[in-house]
Amino acid sequence: MVASDQATLTGQQVQLLSINTIRTLSIDAVQKANSGHPGAPMGLAPVVYELWQNFLRYDPKDPLWPNRDRFVLSAGHASMLLYSMLYLAGVKGANANREIVNTPAVSLDDIKRFRQLDSNTPGHPEYGLTTGIETTTGPLGQGVGTSVGMAIASKWLAARYNRPGFEIFNYNIYVICSDGDMMEGVGSEAASLAGHLRLSNLCWIYDSNNVTLDGPAGWSFNEDVGERFRAYGWNVLHVTDANDLNALNKAFSSFAKTGDKPTFIIVNSHIGYGAPHKQDTNAAHGEPLGEEEVRLAKKSYGWPEDAKFLVPDGVLEHFQEGIGKRSGDLRDKWTKLYAGYRNQHAELAGQIECMQRRDLPAGWDKNMPGFPADAKGLATRESSGKVLNALAQNIPWLLGGAADLATSNKTDLKFEGAGTFAPDNYGGRNFHFGVREHGMAAALNGMAVSDLRPFGGTFFNFSDYMRPSIRLAALMEIPVVYVFTHDSIGLGEDGPTHQPIEQLASLRAMPGLILIRPGDANEVVEAWKIAVQSRKAPVALVLTRQALPTLDRSKFAPASGVQKGAYVLADAPGGKPDVILMATGSEVSLCVSAYEQLVKDGVNARVVSMPCWDIFEKQSDDYKKQVLPPNVTARVAVEMASTFGWSQYAGPSGVVIGMHRFGASAPIKDLLKKFGFTTENVVAAARQAIARTK
Ligand SMILES: Cc1ncc(C[n+]2csc(CCOP(=O)(O)OP(=O)(O)O)c2C)c(N)n1
Ligand SMILES: [Mg+2]
């Protein structure tokens, strides 16, 4: 054997050794945890190996490098695949201040604590918990959906910030997805949107292994997925054997060369590859292999059968010589480039760094509209549109759109230079997400984890279509803003299919989401200020279709009270109320009208505007007691929605005026009368509450 053959052979051996290390680490971790899915990591190990070692531009020494390629494991149940890679590639950890630290992102000990309490290797990859996890995945379809937003962000950053000679941003997004991702509706919305937008920096690798949890994928899924993606406008490639590194290499090279559309690589794999007894059965991925199967699998890999968590000599070095060296060189080059960029384009660099810190630029709140008292007033969606347009002129990376309702949601950015995001204008800031609420919400997550400040609008009722992605935004603690308009039966004639009832209660129940339902235009200003200043929480703005009076703030408390979640808007003479009227949104002015009637009748009433329960709950006990004195138990809560949750503020003697059924199609004035949202009814409820406490 000649020396060069020997070298090639050794090269192949170390490749296989490395791939099998990915597999056996996953097997051992799942077995030790006695929980998890080893099958997908076993089948996909060569795919991820080839991608990371030879293509992914990801420097393990700087997992926060802004121009790194993003790797998304949409098949989040295969989490051990990713943890193995983070460990084997030697990815360093980072702290909450975005500083690289000297501990690894994932250590071998972390892998041994897979799925255990307080480990950084939870069952499914969690953004913010483990360095190197670019987005939380697990609910199938979310990773692919989020990846579209990441690809949008990469294109947008390039269009806005690259300058001749300074290609600061050109990173790609790689996604591993599975049959489940292909079946989920959000995956289709995302693929359709990505194809339409011609996101050539996006590569989905579809693990077509013909099996899902219940059994053969064919029990429920038989369409030609490749044809579907061709129809969406993707570059569709096929690798018929997941173990064929050359074919994978060719496919990734084709992606790199494709400049006008996203790439979809179908890879045929065998789940649980190397575990002959369970190959092609569901048992290989829904649960650990079992000790006996583990031994058989290891035997087929030529592994010592009883070795556990074995990382053979040479494997870590192999990754250092591959992804480590290749990407390290790229990152060094970029760092030099960026230093020059900073010199020549200091202002742009300042913006880039500002957004990375989730800071707002100086003067972010200048030229905010103020709204004079006006009995006729305007809809909160209208004032929202005005405030948003002011803010967006001050915050260059505040951008977004709506799911085909921009003119209803008032989310259009109308100022000069805002532009529309499109294949021929990736620097645009108005997005047409189409009638794809779920796809939009997932994309917003991808934009937010890419340091942009995205917003997305639809009718409040259709927040239900976005909920799984909103939930992930809350779990990931990322600052997405939702602009939900048409927020109650007050939308009128569109009727019960469009009138939200339970959405307020159900979104208030979601941990981490800040829901604000402002009561007039000036509360909208405050609500938007909270939204853009939020660094670690998504914010839902819940806004009306119908006009609301703009309250006279010389008579009532200033709208800045919104910053505390709830505040005394109109107090009882002497500050000693007989009854407290509480409301959010459009019902605040209704309560004010009832208040005026009551005061005229000699009843000491107080009005509390409660636009945000979440923020109110975070106030001191003292403040809460000031707003809702415990000894004032005569209380009335008014909200044109499910009453669920209001009893905590109304108390046992309180009266809650809300909705106990779906709405109806009719002009608003008839609906308000039918469902009791009238001044007389609120006044009567106040008297009833007072009577109850006597
Ligand atoms: C939205 C959602 N529904 C259900 C599940 C539970 N689940 C986990 S894996 C899986 C299917 C696995 O099949 P596939 O996507 O083909 O992945 P493979 O097992 O082939 O790796 C299901 C239904 C989930 N994670 N997300
Ligand atoms: Mg499958």
pLDDT, tens digit, 9 for 90 and up, residues 650-689: 999 999 999 999 999 999 999 999 999 999 999 999 999 9
pLDDT above 90: residue 11 = no
Q: What is the mean pLDDT of the segment spanning 352-380?
A: 97
Q: What is residue 482's predicted lDDT score, i.e. its pLDDT?
A: 99
Contact yes or no for 679/597 (Cβ under 8 A): yes
Work out the burial of residue 123: count CB atoms within 10 Å of its CB; fewer than 13 is exposed, 13-18 middle, 19 or more buried.
Answer: middle
pLDDT of residue 277: 53
Question: What is the arithmetic mean of pLDDT over 461-487?
Answer: 98
Percentage of residues in the chain having pLDDT higher than 90: 94
According to DSSP H, which parts of 345-462 are helical? 346-356, 380-394, 406-409, 437-448
Which atom, in ligand 1's list, is nearest to the CA of 124?
25
First to last CA, the chain: 101
What count of residues does the chain have?
Answer: 694
* Whether residue 3 has pLDDT greater than 60: no
Q: Quick count: other Cβ atoms within 10 Å of Cβ 540?
A: 30
Beta carbons within 8 Å of 43's beta carbon, 6+ residues apart: 207, 209, 242, 269, 270, 271, 272, 273
Lowest mean pLDDT among 31-40, 154-163, 385-394, 484-493: 31-40
Query: In angstroms, rounded to a whole number, what is the distance separating the alpha carbons of residues 71 and 60?
Result: 13
Contacts 24+ apart (CB under 8 A), 213-219: 213/282, 213/285, 213/286, 214/282, 215/282, 216/280, 217/179
- CB 166, CB 492: distance < 8 Å: no
pLDDT at residue number 102: 93
Q: Are 455 and 400 in contact (CB under 8 A)?
A: yes
Look at the alpha carbons of 513, 519, 523, 525 in this order and tell me if their dihedral is positive or negative.
Answer: positive
Give CA separation, 563 vs 103, 113, 525, 559, 616, in Å: 39, 42, 11, 8, 9
pLDDT tens digits, one per residue of 54-79: 999 999 999 999 999 999 999 999 99
The pLDDT of residue 285 is 60
Measured from the CB, is residue 187 less than 6 Å from ligand 1?
Answer: no
Mean pLDDT of 477-492: 98
**Which residue puts its alpha carbon closest to atom 13 of ligand 1?**
212
98 or 616, higher pLDDT: 616
Q: Which ligand ends up closest to the CA of 282?
A: 1
**What distance in angstroms lies between residue 39's CA and the mean position of ligand 2's atoms?**
10
> What pLDDT, on a 0 to 100 scale, did the predictor assign at position 282?
45
Nearest CA to ligand 1 atom 10: 213
Note whether 512 and 537 are within 8 A (CB): yes
* pLDDT score for 275: 77
138 lines ligand 1 (CB under 6 A): yes
Separation between Cα atoms, residue 427 and residue 417, nearest integer Å: 10
Considering 126, 184, 437, 526, which one is annotated as catalytic? 437
- Does residue 279 carry a pLDDT above 50? no
The CA distance from 180 to 81, in Å, is 17
- What separation in Å is there between the alpha carbon of 284 and the centre of ligand 2? 11
Say how far apart CA 147 and CA 175 lie, in whole Å.
7
The burial class, CB within 10 Å (0-12 / 13-18 / 19+), for 525 is buried
Whether 526 sits among the annotated catalytic residues: the reply is no
Q: Is 474 a residue whose pLDDT tops 90?
A: yes
Burial 135-173 (b: 16+ CB within 10 A, else e): bbbbbbbbbbbbbbbbbbbbbbbbebbbeeebebbebbb
Confidence of residue 4 (pLDDT cuts 50, 70, 90): very low
CA 207 – ligand 2 centroid, Å: 7
- Mean pLDDT is lowest, of 3-12, 70-79, 389-398, 399-408, for 3-12
Mean pLDDT of 543-571: 98
- Per-residue pLDDT, averaged over 390-398, amounts to 98
Tell whether ligand 1 has an atom less than 6 A from the beta carbon of residue 216: no
Q: Ligand 1 pocket, 324 CB below 6 A?
A: no
